[in-house]
Amino acid sequence: MILTIDAGNSRVKYGLYEDDTLMKVIIRDSLVSQDIENICIEYNIQRSILCASRNLTPENLAYLHARRTLIVDENTQIPIKNKYRTPKTLGKDRLAGAVGAHFSFPFAHNLYIDIGTAMTINFINNKGEFLGGNISPGLQMRLKALNLYTDQLPKPDLDDQLSLYGSDTEQALKNGAIHGVIAEIEYYKRKFSELYSPLKIILTGGNSIPITHFLHESYVIKPDLVLEGLNEILKIND
């Protein structure tokens, strides 16, 4: 089996592939070498690949190198063209997601929106060229920033309640964060649709499924898009 690892800011996702099929996803809060070792033994892992949004510890790096895990960086061979002006600073999860989007819809322009700790907008044209995108705070980061940079605003827990306006402070904060994310998604959908056709819009990331309950239109939901991209990257790096 193949092990794909998406070490994000808030959690780590392990994707187990067999014959190009994602068989299982395991989620952990942190990247622990013993977790990887246990997975590799239990599932007879033959090859592995990792992209990291978090800093890897020296112990992590030593273990991954010992296992000959492919750690995606700006020099890794990829099956799309990276036209980003500063490839070294491009998040490798964004790059893997771009690969996953292109292989999902290879003949379309792809706009994929990752709603995680940060919210990223990523555009890949129908030539398989990653052209760039934008970065803004994710849902939790918006709420955390308001709590951190003010003296009296609380940090509410997100739920499935949304109204046009809040009748208490916690609901006002949640409304503001959710409406802000919705407005961004629908703005980019409108602007990119005016310029590119056919266009596929894909939502991914930890908050992609909850946010769909509040959207007015349907979108392609692929919560494991980064894992899919990592699997494709590994194929051309044998």
**Catalytic site residues?**
93
Q: Please give, one letter per residue, the 3-state secondary structure of the chain.
A: CEEEEEECCCCEEEEEEECCEEEEEEEECCCCHHHHHHHHHHCCCCEEEEEECCCCCHHHHHHHHHCCCEECCCCCCCCCEECCCCCCCCCHHHHHHHHHHHHHCCCCEEEEEEECCEEEEEEECCCCEEEEEEEEECHHHHHHHHHHCCCCCCCCCCCCCCCCCCCCHHHHHHHHHHHHHHHHHHHHHHHHHHHCCCEEEEEECCCHHHHHCCCCCCCEECCCHHHHHHHHHHHCCC
Angle between helices 33-42 and 58-66 (to 10 degrees): 20
Are the beta carbons of 41 and 47 closer than 8 angstroms?
Answer: no
DSSP bridge partners of 70: 49
Contact 4, 234 (CB under 8 A): yes
